[in-house]
Structure 1
Amino acid sequence: MGHHGHIELTTNFYGITDLASKSVFNFIAAFGFIAIAVLSLLSTNNVKFRSMLGAVIIVVSVIPLLALFSSAMWIDSLGGFPAIGSGQGVIKYMALLAIGIVLVAPQLSSNTQKWISVVPVIIVLLWIGGMKFTLLEAKGIEDLVVSSPFMSWMYSIWDVQTTSNLIGIYDLVAVALLVIAMFNHRFMLPAILMSGAVFVTTQSFLFSWDAALNESSILSTGGHFLIKDLWYVINLFVIWHLTKDRQNVELN
């Protein structure tokens, strides 16, 4: 239901927009996510469904990710940052792809699985954190920050750009800590907590930002953008689980 810009950009990239109506492509996307939801439920009690779940996740994530090769997904004037609402939204499928790979290939070493899971987190925090230093992004997050009971106080101390810069610095520090933690597990818990705070705060906007919801499709396009950060929360859970498993092996 509703209009989803990144779906249209994706169909434009593949040259299939004229083959069917927007509602048909919306239905195909919805069917993919419903299939993931059903397989997720089945796989909680039956391991044999996990590889199938992973395969569907990979397909659903790769299709929009390939569309990143379209120039419409990027802001050339800012040196190649992902476009707000399309590029940024599609980049988040990297997190979903990582989940699919880990499910499909459980035989991979725990260290390899950790890197697969952490790379999407690093990329999104680095890219979107870097964008916080631009006026375009500073203005883009203003309504979100104003609505937040956790962040709105920042505007009473700093202006819009400075507030955005500070959020960007936080994101980049989280990236640095994650990279360090991959080589020194003593830093893993603070790295996960610091990174997780970014994604949990994003989820709070679903309740504080009125524009996240609408009557026709429950979640607005902005709401869809925000809720995708749950995939990154899963990535962090996977990283923590694999880290604890490795520590237990080392202790034994």
Structure 2
Amino acid sequence: MTPLHLRIVLILVAISTTLLGLSMLLIGPHRHITLTTDFYRLTDLLPANTSNIIAAVAFLGCAVLSIIAIKKINLRPWLGYLLMVISLVPLGSLFASTMWIEALGGFPVIGSGQGVIKYFALFSIAWFLIKPNLSGYQAAYISLFPVLLVLLWIGGMKFTLFEAQGIEGLVNSSPLMSWMYSLWELQTVSNLIGVYDLVAVLLLIVAIYRRELLYPAMLMSGAVFIVTQTFLLSFSSSLSGTTLLSTTGHFLVKDLWFLANLICFYAVAQTLTSKQRIEHIEENISFPK
């Protein structure tokens, strides 16, 4: 990865963790922290306010380290380890039934866990910081996995009425997307967004092997997460004058991590030669003789 790409990744981490850390301090104890402490049976041991402060300070520590690590290369692995811990703690709570919608059959119908699976993106960034010399295809898969996961999983959820109703407020608030409701019904709009996400998944997978599809794949998938950031401005419940972000804002700002994943993937994909791509395909796909 080039120094420029890595600087951009660190800046995105710094922005997101600063907003999350400060907002968590201002909001105080909230449900998302409680769901995690409940899973680890810590709720009775640690006061809710203490758990919230620990999480907020961890995010702010990441923000400070991210800014310093732009210049201080030797701090990047330490930042990676901290990010890895911050991501693994909530990811472990995916084993809790509270993360899934029991009324719709539980796993894989994801509810509160939608915000949690975004920590896979942070874990991927951590891995890059700890292991900066990963081979080309290893790096490509590690950077792409979180993006493919969220687009496939949450994109697939778009075909359910539950998700169609869940995104209505966000889509309606957006000048970029609200026009869709004037043309199609609620579920149809959600279905179209789901199809878009799944097409982006296919393009990203093929782009690993076909460099000419890299730019369309980046534009199509990157647009998903850029549009999500516009909801911070268009959706009135995202920002707060007293707490910076609401919990909805927390959910949205985490998509900056997926943009960082895509930047990592783009930087890696640019270095893969045609010969490497052909050799990788031949090694992993058996053709009949």
TM-score range, shorter chain: over 0.9
The CA distance in 1 between the partners of 2:42 and 2:146, in whole Å, is 28
Q: Does 1:80 align with 2:84?
A: no
The CA distance in 2 between the partners of 1:4 and 1:183, in whole Å, is 44
Partner of 1:90: 116
Instruction: Tell me by how many angstroms 1:96 deviates.
Output: 0.3
Q: Is the 8 A contact 2:157 2:194 kept in 1?
A: yes
| TM-score relative to the length of structure 2 | 0.83
Q: Deviations over 1:18-71 (max 9, x none)?
A: 112222111111111111111111111011001001110000000000110111
Comparing both chains, which one has the higher relative contact order based on Cα–Cα distances under 8 Å and sequence gaps of 6 or more? 2
Partner of 1:117: 143
- Unaligned 5+ runs, structure 2: 1-25, 277-289
Q: Secondary structure at the match of 2:71?
A: coil
Partner of 1:59: 85
Partner of 2:212: 186
Partner of 2:178: 152
Partner of 1:13: 39
Q: Does 1:230 align with 2:256?
A: yes
Give 1:37's aligned amino acid: A
Q: Is the 8 A contact 1:73 1:82 kept in 2?
A: no
Residue correspondences, number: 249
Q: Deviations over 1:161-210 (max 9, x none)?
A: 10000000000100111111112222111111100000000000000000
- Unaligned 5+ runs, structure 1: none
Q: Does 1:38 align with 2:51?
A: no
The CA distance in 2 between the partners of 1:61 and 1:144, in whole Å, is 26
Matches within 5 A, 1:21-36: 21-36=47-62
Give 1:147's aligned amino acid: S
CA RMSD of aligned residues (A): 1.6
The CA distance in 2 between the partners of 1:176 and 1:192, in whole Å, is 12
Ranges of 4+ aligned residues in structure 1 off by more than 4 Å: 247-250
Instruction: Tell me by how many angstroms 1:247 deviates.
Output: 4.3
Q: Is the 8 A contact 2:222 2:259 kept in 1?
A: yes
Give 2:126's aligned amino acid: G
Give 2:135's aligned amino acid: S
Give 2:49's aligned amino acid: S
Partner of 1:142: 168
- Which of 236, 242, 249 is residue 210 of structure 1 equivalent to? 236
| TM-score relative to the length of structure 1 | 0.95
Comparing 174-183 with 71-80, greater Cα deviation is found at: 71-80
Give 1:49's aligned amino acid: L
Give 1:222's aligned amino acid: T
Q: Deviations over 1:51-92 (max 9, x none)?
A: 0011100000000001101111112415523543x2000000
Partner of 2:8: none
The CA distance in 1 between the partners of 2:252 and 2:262, in whole Å, is 17
The CA distance in 2 between the partners of 1:247 and 1:182, in whole Å, is 11
Q: Is the 8 A contact 2:97 2:106 kept in 1?
A: no
Instruction: Tell me by how many angstroms 1:127 deviates.
Output: 0.5
Q: Deviations over 1:108-156 (max 9, x none)?
A: 2121011001000000000000110111100000010110000000000
Q: Using the aligned pairs only, state the percent identity.
A: 51
Q: Secondary structure at the match of 2:272?
A: helix
Q: Is the 8 A contact 1:125 1:175 kept in 2?
A: yes
The CA distance in 1 between the partners of 2:233 and 2:275, in whole Å, is 41
